[in-house]
Structure 1
Amino acid sequence: MQTEPFQIAVPDADIDDLRRRLKQTRWAPATPAPAWEQGIDPAWLRELVAYWADQFDWRAAERGLNSQPQYLAEVDGQRVHFVHRRGAGPAPYPLVVTHGWPGSFFEFYGLIDQLCDPAAFGGDPADAFDVVVPSLPGFGLSAAPAQAGMSAFQVADRWAALMRGLGYTRFGAQGGDLGAGVSVALAARHADCVDGIHLNFLPSSYEPAEGAAVRPLTPDEARYLQEKNDWAALEGAYAHMHATRPLTLAASLNDSPTGLAAWIAEKFRAWSDCGGDVESVFSKDDLLTNISLYWYTQSIGPAIQMYWENRLQPMRFAEGQRVRPPVGFAHFPKEINHPPRSWLERTFDVTQWTDMPRGGHFAAMEQPQLLAAEIRRFFRPLRH
């Protein structure tokens, strides 16, 4: 596998075009509703868009993104962009970390430092990792799939090939959101090279190997399934749209940066442990760095396409099927679903489970130190 170093360099004309579009936003008429009750708060969105147009420094953000070593590689016919940071320790352990939507590889910049150089944060250098953070196919700087069918399972096949191409015969995997599905698929399909997986989210399509027909639901499991259904009814419209009409939605979001910002930023508020104040956890610069990656690469359409593919290939396990590599799970209190440990244990060998003190869906950005400590602890006995 050939890799080539890569640096982000957005043309000046694209930056000028974005500013022009932002300043020409045709704002939706206001409705008589409390702030955030019906989605994005229009007043806050106007403030964010004004900052994006007049104050946000993309070149500074670009320099920050380019501070981590990035590469491009052709992996089983798919062009993949990835960060590959070597660890500072006596025997760094290889770990592939996968993002989800509406995130990007940028989500993990704080976590990468913690994992690669634990001694710099008061940790043990023996816990260092070699960290690989690929961009999902169609997200940001990874090319959109040329053929249909790129679900979490096919992404996992590419990640296994990527890690082998980088010289790692055995490795671990970590992820949340869509990245949790990819990590589960890696464990299920590539147990010969995956030592274990650490998750901070359970894919919503997960159906265990030992379902209710095999073993009756516990009260906690029944409560979880009801809460998951209730959440989908009130909060899951975005996912249903992604999974059923991605092209219709993409036509709007790829043309309007204000619409794109509203679609993405609202989720960072709703799904994080921010107490309703999104900027208490994420700065405008961080939000806009992530949103700008979607905008400049025109990747919102290919990215949400993965929901379509995952709907056609859900995370379902046959009766009696077990996933062999061990699983660690960090349960953050403001995550969007809260499965009980027993629900995972119907399919997985859960060797570490931690109820985290704070944090939400974007754990790597919200609480990188806490998440890094959990990842280190889980993989410590699995290192070779």
Structure 2
Amino acid sequence: MTDDTPKSNRRHLLKLAVAAPAALAIASSADAKTAPFSLPPANDGLTPFKVSIPQAAIDDLKRRLGATRWPEKETIEDWSQGVPLAKAKALVSYWRNKYDWRRFERQINAYPQFRTKIDGLGIHFIHVKSKHENALPIILTHGWPGSVVEFLKVIGPLTDPTAHGGKAEDAFHVVIPSQPGFGFSDKPSEVGWTVVRTANAWGVLMKRLGYTRWVAQGGDWGSGVTHALGHVRPEGLVAAHVNWPLVFPEKFPDNPTPEEKAAMDAAMKFASDQFGYFKEQATRPQTIGYALEDSPVGQATWIYEKFQAWTDNKGEPEDALTTDEMLDDIALYWFTGTAASSARIYWENARNGGGFDAGRIELPMAATIFPKEIYRAPKAWAEAHWPNLFYWNEVDKGGHFAAFEQPALFSEEMRKAFRSIR
């Protein structure tokens, strides 16, 4: 982009590049042909749920991994053409020969999980209540290619702070839902599931759980949902925190500050170098779904690339997350058959009113900025949109998957941010 690019067009491109992925599904129901298991029906109650993938599905995965037809090696020595062949082969070998899905099932099943029907869909969620009196309820929303897996490491520190270096008065009751079309939530069979509709569903969920005063947090698409919560303001919501503020100036400055220039440059680099996945999922989620639903290697590398690009690492995703942690998330997408349905979050929001400029939000808002975030909004931009900004902090480590990468730091930020709201 040149300096003589019209400023209105520049602003449009910047917004498209960095807002749409976090605030920008028509799938058939899961059956034997499209997923290795069927979800139990949900109703207006709270039905206990446990993860239990059939052994036949695990065996089928290993068979598919062993029958992979590999492309030739990339023609460069970095990640600029995508996941290097050697890295892909190492990941797949580990997945097939060493990774233990049953270990993950034991981990997630250690927490109370439920399914409940909201707006026609069965919604899966983890709900862990604190033992501490006057704990503050918080709903944590994941994005793509994340899942509830992102938040498992913060459940203990948030619900039981005294066991993790905190104080009893900083405790939270934690609610972690799977977004519609993700994980163990139902896949929408009609259009219209934008971030606003999901935000309204979260309001119903928190009311159904009996919470009359609660807060929200999100990153990536979870940030989009959390911004939407700030607009719809369901009953009981008193404040929100995001680790990816979706805020933009009404007019980009002619002489930007160094912070503003860095934000604009990062947005344009993202648009020019990493935007392919977004355009595909926003325009043809069904088509990419065929490739990813049928190939575990395709599904794995589609996500693994983002762990390399969006985490705070020294060049390799394993610098930020363990191979097991990344495969927990990847395998969740594979076993639930949600490649297409999760991709539709981009299509839905690009077309149905959720292409997201956060705009003005009156709800008290807070943010923590992690250094390797895709786009780091300057505080001044947030102040212009959030008149009730009550907490802002820029930390020294972590990336796009904040809770997943830095659970201790993320947990401490939640304690600090919401201390004044209690």
Q: Same fold (TM over 0.5)?
A: yes
Whether 1:287 and 2:287 are equivalent positions in the alignment is no
The residue that corresponds to 2:154 in the other structure is 111
CA gap of 1:22–1:190, structure 2 versus 1, over 3 A, is: same
Output the amino acid matched with 1:106.
V
- Taking the TM superposition and a 5 Å limit, the aligned residue runs for 1:260-275 are 260-275=299-314
The residue that corresponds to 1:372 in the other structure is 411
- Taking the TM superposition and a 5 Å limit, the aligned residue runs for 1:294-309 are 294-309=333-348
Whole-Å separation in 2 of the counterparts to 1:29 and 1:118: 50
The residue that corresponds to 1:179 in the other structure is 222
Shift of 1:221: 3.5
- Taking the TM superposition and a 5 Å limit, the aligned residue runs for 1:178-217 are 178-190=221-233, 192-203=235-246, 211-212=250-251
Whether the aligned pair in 1 keeps the contact of 2:127 and 2:175 (CA below 8 Å) is yes
Whether 1:4 and 2:43 are equivalent positions in the alignment is no
Shift of 1:317: 5.6
Whole-Å separation in 1 of the counterparts to 2:66 and 2:333: 19
Whether the aligned pair in 1 keeps the contact of 2:49 and 2:113 (CA below 8 Å) is yes
Shift of 1:226: 4.1
CA gap of 1:317–1:115, structure 2 versus 1, over 3 A, is: closer
Whether 1:327 and 2:365 are equivalent positions in the alignment is yes
Whole-Å separation in 2 of the counterparts to 1:32 and 1:64: 40
Q: Comparing both chains, which one has the higher relative contact order based on Cα–Cα distances under 8 Å and sequence gaps of 6 or more?
A: 2
- Taking the TM superposition and a 5 Å limit, the aligned residue runs for 1:223-238 are 223-238=262-277
The residue that corresponds to 1:347 in the other structure is 385
CA RMSD of aligned residues (A): 1.7
* 1:304-344 superposed Cα distances (whole Å, 9 cap, x missing partner): 100111212212366xxx31211111110011111101112
The residue that corresponds to 1:337 in the other structure is 375
* 1:285-313 superposed Cα distances (whole Å, 9 cap, x missing partner): 11111101000000011001001112122
The residue that corresponds to 2:286 in the other structure is 247
Shift of 1:17: 0.6
- Provide structure 2 residue ranges, at least 5 long, that are not aligned to the other structure: 1-43
Shift of 1:225: 3.0
The residue that corresponds to 1:16 in the other structure is 59
Whole-Å separation in 2 of the counterparts to 1:163 and 1:217: 45
Q: Structure 2 residue aligned with 1:53, among 77, 96, 99?
A: 96
Q: Which moved more, 1:131-140 or 1:366-375?
A: 366-375
Shift of 1:207: 5.0
TM-score between both structures, scaled by the size of structure 1: 0.94
TM-score between both structures, scaled by the size of structure 2: 0.86
Shift of 1:223: 4.8
Shift of 1:31: 2.9
Output the amino acid matched with 1:26.
R
Whether the aligned pair in 2 keeps the contact of 1:224 and 1:339 (CA below 8 Å) is yes
- Taking the TM superposition and a 5 Å limit, the aligned residue runs for 1:20-39 are 20-39=63-82
Whole-Å separation in 2 of the counterparts to 1:240 and 1:341: 29
Whether 1:168 and 2:168 are equivalent positions in the alignment is no
Identity level (%)? 40
Large movers: runs of 4+ above 6 Å: none
Shift of 1:191: 5.7
Whole-Å separation in 2 of the counterparts to 1:344 and 1:198: 12
Whether the aligned pair in 2 keeps the contact of 1:196 and 1:382 (CA below 8 Å) is yes
- Provide structure 1 residue ranges, at least 5 long, that are not aligned to the other structure: none
